[in-house]
Structure 1
Amino acid sequence: MTPARRLGFHLFAAGLAFGTGAAMAQGTIKIGEINSYKALPQNLVPYRQGWLLAQEEINAAGGVLGKKLETVFRDDNGNPGDAVRMAEELVARENVDLLSGVTFSHVGLALADFAKQRKIFFLASGPLSDKIVWENGNRYTYRLRSGTYALSASVVSEAAKLGKKRWALIYPNYEYGQAAVAAFKENMKKAQPDIEFVAEQSPPLGKIDAGAVSQAIADAKPDAIFNVMFGSDLTKLAREGKTRGLFAGREVVSLLTGEPEYLDPLKDDAPSGWIVTGYPYTNIDTPEHKAFLAAYQKKYSDYPRLNSVVGYATVKAIAAGLQKAGATDTEKLIVAFKGLEFGTPFGKAMFRPEDNQSTLGIFVGRTEVKDGRGVMPAGTYIDGAKLQPSEAVVRKLRSGS
């Protein structure tokens, strides 16, 4: 077991103890949190740390509606069936007041359907599939993090400024990758009508043959590359592409790559000069982020990752929604979250009434390698409200839900 996985396991065990040990306590509001802790420790150890920091702050200030927040954590093993079983246990046996969590999109879709069937409020914190709030959206499900369409749209302005005509596309062959590429193509054709997409490589998630992909892209002689690979696939692609000179003299636009979760494993093999979405935590000069950063570092003696922000902001949103609703009743929560404003380390955000999607935004910048590790030293913050399709398009997408 790797150190990250050992840490993830110990924090998971601690989290379970935190939840179940207090399960019989009186005067609490219980949140059922489901996520892929053992499958994604690099993402979800920071996520839970952010979550517990926010919960601690809220409880220290008197809680919500005169009650302490309590979280019961469960692991979904990255599996929709397990997630639904955990949700059923949390509702039937733990008597949670609402559900939250999820990182994998297919798990998020399963829990959104569960929330609809069981008529319980569900705040999806991190799944990127837009089906969760659009085609498969329902009145019981809200989402905090910006989705695939917004991520792709956020980099279009910088990509178009490059003036590159011939683009190659690299993406994992499942919904997230396919949707990201479709959104990028759609928006780039509007911004740059003469664009050409000269090559596409779509390996299965987690099974990239980085050498073959790099060679196929090089053979197409693109001017620029749009990359959607992440995690271990990104690590392999970045290293193999660097070895083969794939990125030399070519611009690369890459989703998620500026997040410390994905830059850290690359160390000095991290790409330099890529246009990315990410988290420039050392250079966000707002009071909200300064306070968050200081509190996080004091509590954990570590720097936050983007998922730390997601976990923290999710709890803050839940607290704001409960306060506005004045109760834990599902119907009152649904009403309260429509247009709800809440605080995050990135500033104020809200849940759009038309699709239950948060306006939490995205940072876009370029990567660098400093002191032997990849960093995103700076970035421009784009409000999530500016990255969505028109209200008419969203209404049509949700019409069947």
Structure 2
Amino acid sequence: MKYRSVVIATSMALAVALATVSSSSAQNVIKIGDINSYKAMSANLGPYRKGVDLAVEEINAAGGLLGKTLEIVARDDGANPGDAVRMADDLRLNAKVDILTGTILSHVGLAVADYARQHKVFFLASAPLTDKIVWDSGNRYTFRLRPSTYSHAAALVPHAAALKRKRWAFVYPNYEYGQSAVATFKSLLKAAQPDVEFVIDLAPPLGKIDSASVVQALADAKPDAVFNVLFGADLAKFVRDGETRDLFSGIEVVSLLTGEPEYLDPLKDEAPKNWYVTGYPWYLIKTPEHMEFLTAYQKRYNDYPRISSLVGYTTIKALAAGIDKAKSTNSEELAKVFEGLTFLSPSGKVTFRALDHQATLGLYVGRTALQNGKGVMTSYDYLDGAKLQPADDIVRKMRPAHTQ
């Protein structure tokens, strides 16, 4: 009996000691729960995670935040809104994360934003482009870093109007991102060029394009210009079939995202020529803040950054700035300080607008070309994200009143 009592007492003491160590360890760590389509969009999420890890390493090497180290706890959302919500629940209840971040697909980002609203947990949406996440479905706890579909369209419309092409065709993935990008582009282009005609809309399912049929339908419609919103494998198939059938000869193409290395580089010498695009010409950007990021990234990974690397890095820098200002990881406190928060990114100063929680991170716009057997942007204009937004009174009409 004495032996058993000693064993029980020892076991209890050990359990208490382990719990104390565990509690002490938890108190010294700020956990950030990242939800993303790591498997479905690995070409984007591999570089994204490199950018995230680089920022975390820099912050921890400098002493961390609030006397604590940062730790990333990642979950794969399976490119599915339902899975994303389950992962958010797991991160909040089991992993005990302080903050949620991430997502790249618009419909997934919207699902996590709604979860943040319901559970009053702070969520920094890194990369979903849908306008709804900060407007129609906006909420107190959700902020978004990357420029929206509206911003992307607004950046390209002045160049599209300057082309003076009358007959426009549209190619886009048939889900929230593609639909909203095209709707905005049409609206803004019509305002800039009232005589424009929209001759055909082609909206294949995401990841399931029949590119030969799409190219043939475009050829039959005889447009003067094409607005393309395809990306990834869909874009590659469209470009290859379009080149094979000589679709692009004599047609201007204005294209979202195509200048990003994730989508341009895999095409190699098949990359589109002379398209007007949004992208990320990391090899041309010589500002001090970008050169600092580029040097650190290349030293750490012996590789060049993609736009996803920039987004991942900037996401963590934004969270660090917010936590430092709030002196807390409490969701209510973060929601307060992020409204109007300004911080320095590799693209320059960025502010989260109090009006709609949209960051003013800008866009790089230019033409594509082939150089040394690969697609590049030959020059660029950097457009401030603050100047790519609709008027404040328009935003107020779209944003839920209780979040303003």
Asked if Structure 1 and Structure 2 have the same fold, meaning a TM-score greater than 0.5 normalized by the shorter chain, the answer is yes
Contact 1:135/1:398 (<8 A) preserved? yes
Sequence identity percentage: 62
| CA displacement at 1:24 relative to structure 2 | 4.4
Cα shift readout 1:77-99 (whole Å, capped 9, x = no counterpart): 11111111111111111211111
Whether the 8 Å CA contact 1:23–1:94 is kept in 2: the answer is no
User: Residue 62 of structure 2 corresponds to which residue in structure 1?
Assistant: 61
Structure 2 letter corresponding to 1:196: E
Deviation at 1:25, TM superposition (A): 4.8
> Relative to structure 2, which stretch is displaced further, 142-151 or 169-178?
169-178
Within-5 A mapping of 1:2-17: none
Deviation at 1:258?
Answer: 0.2
Q: How does 1:1-400 map to 2 (within 5 A)?
A: 24-399=25-400
**Is the contact made by 2:139 and 2:400 (CA closer than 8 Å) also made in structure 1?**
no
| Alignment length (residue pairs) | 381
CA-to-aligned-CA distance 1:355-380 (integer Å, 9 cap, x gap)? 00000011110111111111123210
Taking the aligned partners of 1:84 and 1:399, their CA distance within structure 2 comes to 22
Structure 2 distance, partners of 1:368, 1:23, is 55
Deviation at 1:115, TM superposition (A): 0.7
Deviation (angstroms), 1:353: 0.3
Q: Paired residue for 1:13?
A: none
Shift of 1:197: 1.1
Q: Contact 2:347–2:361 at 8 Å: present in 1 too?
A: yes
Provide the rounded CA distance (Å) in 1 between the counterparts of 2:170 and 2:119.
40
* Alpha carbons 2:259, 2:278 under 8 Å: kept: yes
Counterpart Cα distance in 1 of 2:340 and 2:401: 22
Amino acid at match of 1:71: I
Corresponding residue for residue 18 of structure 1: none
Cα-to-partner distance string for 1:326-378 (whole Å, 9 max, x where unaligned): 11111111111000001111001010000000000111101111111111232
**Alpha-carbon shift at residue 399 of structure 1 (Å):** 2.7
Q: What per-residue deviation string (whole Å, max 9, x for no partner) do you get for residues 42-70 of structure 1?
A: 00000000001011111111111222111
SS in 1 for 2:159: helix
Q: Which moved more, 1:57-66 or 1:255-264?
A: 57-66
Task: Assess, with a 3 A threshold, how the Cα gap between structure 1 residues 23 and 111 changes in structure 2: closer, same or farther.
Answer: farther
Change (3 A) 1:247 1:328: same
Please give the alpha-carbon distance, in whole angstroms, between the structure 1 residues aligned to 2:25 and 2:326: 24
CA distance in 1, matches of 2:364, 2:236: 21
**Aligned counterpart, 1:15:** none
Separation in 2, partners of 1:73, 1:169: 36
Give SS of 1:296's match. Answer: helix
CA deviations on 1:132-190 (whole Å, 9 max, x unpaired) are 11111100000000111111111011111111111111111111111111100111111
Q: Which residue of 1 aligns with 2:10?
A: none
Taking the aligned partners of 1:330 and 1:68, their CA distance within structure 2 comes to 18
- DSSP-derived class of the 1:236 partner: helix
Say which SS state the counterpart of residue 131 (structure 1) adopts.
helix
The whole-number CA distance in structure 2 between the counterparts of 1:39 and 1:78 is 6
1:222 Cα deviation (Å)? 1.2
Secondary structure of residue in 1 paired with 2:283: helix
**Partner SS, residue 140 of structure 2:** coil
What secondary structure sits across from 1:364 in the alignment? strand
User: Does the 8 A contact of 2:138 with 2:400 survive in 1?
Assistant: no
State whether residues 168 and 198 of structure 1, in contact with CA within 8 Å, keep that contact through their aligned partners in structure 2. Answer: yes
5+ residue gaps, structure 2: 1-21
Q: 1 CA distance for matches of 2:397 and 2:138?
A: 12
Structure 2 counterpart of 1:136, one-letter code: S
Q: Which residue of 1 aligns with 2:15?
A: none
Given that residues 135 and 400 in structure 1 are in contact (C-alpha distance below 8 angstroms), is that contact kept between their aligned partners in structure 2? no
Residue pair 2:84, 2:108 contacting (<8 A) in 1 also = yes
Quick one: distance in 2 between partners of 1:38 and 1:115? Answer: 23
Distance 2:381 2:52 in 1: 25
Structure whose CA Rg is larger = 2
**Structure 1 length as normaliser, TM-score?**
0.93
Aligned residue identity for 1:42:
A
| Structure 1 portions without partners, runs of 5+ | 1-20
**Maintained 8 Å contact 1:282/1:377:** no
* Residues 65, 23 of structure 1: alpha-carbon distance in 2 compared, 3 angstrom cutoff: closer
Q: Which letter maps to 1:106?
A: H
Instruction: Provide the rounded CA distance (Å) in 1 between the counterparts of 2:23 and 2:37.
Output: 22
Q: Relative to 1, partners in 2 of residues 1:388 and 1:23: Cα closer, same or farther, differing over 3 Å?
A: farther
